[in-house]
Amino acid sequence: GHPVYRDMSTTIFEHMSARARETGAINLGQGFPEGPGPDAVLQAAADALLTRSSQYPPMAGLVELRTAVADHYARHQQLDLSPQEVIVTSGATEAIAASLLALVQPGDEVLMLAPLYDAYLPLVERVGGVAKLVTLTPPDWRITREALAAAITPRTRILLMNNPVNPTGVVLREEELALIADLCVAHDLIAICDEVWEQTVYDGLPHRPLMGLAGMRDRTVKIGSAGKIFSVTGWKVGWMCAAPPIAALLARAHQFLTFTTPPGLQWAVAEGLAYPDAWFADQRAAYQASRDRLAAGLAAAGYVVQPSAATWFLSIDLPASGIALDDVSFCNRIIDEAGVAAIPISAFYPTRPVTHLVRLCFSKTDRTLDQAIERLAAFR
Ligand code: GLN
């Protein structure tokens, strides 16, 4: 038959959202905030659509947005980027795809940490990369030098990682980032660091960009997402930042993927990135309150919840909650019997070493969270 690539199955997020639509379940599966998004940023987009051009913007993005991204990272993360080091993409997923297309040669080994975001492995394999996975396990998901070093060979070229981590809500510890940076320098690796959750870090924890560590400035591709920062996941505006020699390669891959990103949305995101610090702090505080509301409600209903320091997700520990189902069975049961959609953590591993955790999205209104808690309480 035809040489058809068979390993790109429908993502778990689309699968679960489709089932939630069919069944009318409350969707705590796929990660997206409830509601249309913050007024200010929606108004900025509406204004831009009416007053600015809707024709092709420059391929690498509007200079105003590239400048706004660089300024935002200088202000929030002490990075020193020039606008030329920022390429605007149609979402972070495109940035990941473009980075891999640009930087991986067939046969190159790509080091990744599991649990891993579900787009990584199919894309790495599709560009001809050889996946080398380091498997992390609960409860602390700790990264060790030994495990990383054991997975690196002379053919390793790229490290692809996520921090803060979806689905665990982990923020990598200082010493973990330091040893990652050390190994990247020692083995001359380029790090592609997906930092889309950088503005959803709670409990006063800072976000430390990998690019800011010693030796990493010119060997890191830093990926960001306006959808996450501004709670508008459908906008699909993202970016990738890298030193000029890498950025030039990234731009060439991007030009044949999407070429550009809607300019009205780029204008709005540029405006939003310049909001005062308090705006971002308020967003974080609201999401943190939602996290705490869901965690407390689930605990009161007898569920044991894993702590989450970041992202829009927390996890239920099934056996600790006295539930004798694996994660996939539990998700199938609660969507049909409780009317709540969730995501099994085993979907974030190519093999299923962890099958006892279920991810729930808490970026929802209090009313929706309370309803979901009530339904999950009744399911027990
Ligand atoms: N990032 C989202 C999540 O983890 C999913 C995005 C998507 O479905 N492409 O739920």
Work out which ligand 1 atom sits closest to the CA atom of 30: 10
Domain count, the chain: 2
Distance between Cα 23 and ligand 1 center (Å): 20
Neighbours of 330 (CB within 10 A): 23
Residue type, 16: M
Give the structural domain span for 282: 12-30+278-379
Of 224, 243, 274, the last residue of a domain is 274
Distance CA 23, CA 1 (A): 37
Look at the block and give the residue holding tokens 């560009």: 127
CATH number at residue 353: 3.90.1150.10
For helices 63-77 and 263-273, the axis angle rounded to 10 degrees is: 30
Question: Which residues fall within 8 angstroms of residue 38, CB to CB, at 6 or more apart?
Answer: 230, 231, 283
109/201 same-domain check:
yes
Residue 215 inside a domain? The answer is yes
What pLDDT sits at residue 10? 86
Return d(Cα 265, Cα 244) in angstroms, integer: 25
Task: Say whether both 289 and 244 belong to one domain.
Answer: no
User: Are residues 242 and 320 located together in one domain of the fold?
Assistant: no
Q: Which residue among 166, 196, 232, 358 has the greatest number of ligand 1 atoms within 8 angstroms of its CB, and so is best to mutate?
A: 166
Does any domain span residue 66?
A: yes
Taking alpha carbons only, the member of 268, 257, 272 closest to residue 76 is 272
| Residues making up the chain, counted from first to last | 380
Is 266 a member of any domain? Answer: yes
CA distance 10 to 280: 33
Q: What is the ipTM of this complex?
A: 0.93
Averages of pLDDT over each 10 residues, the chain, 380 residues: 62 94 97 96 98 98 98 98 98 98 98 96 96 96 97 98 98 98 98 98 98 98 98 98 98 97 98 98 98 98 97 98 97 97 96 96 98 97
Which of helix, strand or coil describes residue 43?
A: helix
CATH for 173: 3.40.640.10
Among residues 363, 364, 376, the alpha carbon closest in space to that of 298 is found at: 376
Q: Pocket residues for ligand 1 (CB within 6 Å)?
A: 11, 13, 30-31, 93, 166
